[in-house]
Structure 1
């Protein structure tokens, strides 16, 4: 796996973690935080928790699979990304369309702010 793929995977796991963290076990949460957010190595995590490097790897792998399983069923990340893209398109059209009357433009901007606040 090259650096770009590794970064994409790390970003995806972190995003999934943001959505599904409460559904993971405490140990899964801890190991994922250490590995993906705090940038600990498997060896460092193993030493910290007094278990083997292989055991840490298995816990992290299982947690990743669990996150992907939740996403395949609930699609919270997919829906978030779709909403974000649509809001971006709406903002772009709003700022680049000249014939929208100011009162309507202000109303649409307020709707965008309210949608963003829901995130």
Structure 2
């Protein structure tokens, strides 16, 4: 479950602007704030089943966006390449070289 939560949080970070307000609210409460389905249903005065269905559909939407746009996959690949650059440069690279890598990594945040 932790792995799925981490994945949904990552996809949410990339694609939340593309979701409806309700989808954003439900996913935010469920994955970030660790609300239960019952707590979310009480908060929005809807059935627990309605919350469950909305979250599942929203997860599918996030996965569909990732399948098409691959923002999360590309992000992780860039992180791997930054680490590879650091390893390959070793002690021979200048401080300026490492500052460029640091700046690239900051642009990812």
Higher RCO (CA 8 Å, separation ≥ 6 residues): 2
Alpha-carbon separation, structure 1, partners of 2:60 and 2:39: 22
CA shift, 1:91, in A, is 1.3
Unmatched runs of 5 consecutive residues or more in structure 2:
none
With the length of structure 1 as denominator, give the TM-score of the two structures.
0.86
Alpha-carbon separation, structure 1, partners of 2:35 and 2:106: 33
2:78 to 83, 87, 102: 83
Alpha-carbon separation, structure 2, partners of 1:59 and 1:92: 44
CA shift, 1:108, in A, is 1.8
RMSD: 1.2
Corresponding residue for residue 116 of structure 1: 105
Corresponding residue for residue 52 of structure 2: 57
CA shift, 1:118, in A, is 1.4
With the length of structure 2 as denominator, give the TM-score of the two structures.
0.93
Corresponding residue for residue 41 of structure 1: 36
Alpha-carbon separation, structure 1, partners of 2:26 and 2:60: 14
Moved over 4 A (4+): none
2:7 to 8, 12, 15: 12
Corresponding residue for residue 3 of structure 1: none
Alpha-carbon separation, structure 1, partners of 2:39 and 2:84: 44
Larger Rg: 1
CA shift, 1:76, in A, is 0.2
Alpha-carbon separation, structure 2, partners of 1:44 and 1:107: 51
CA shift, 1:114, in A, is 2.1
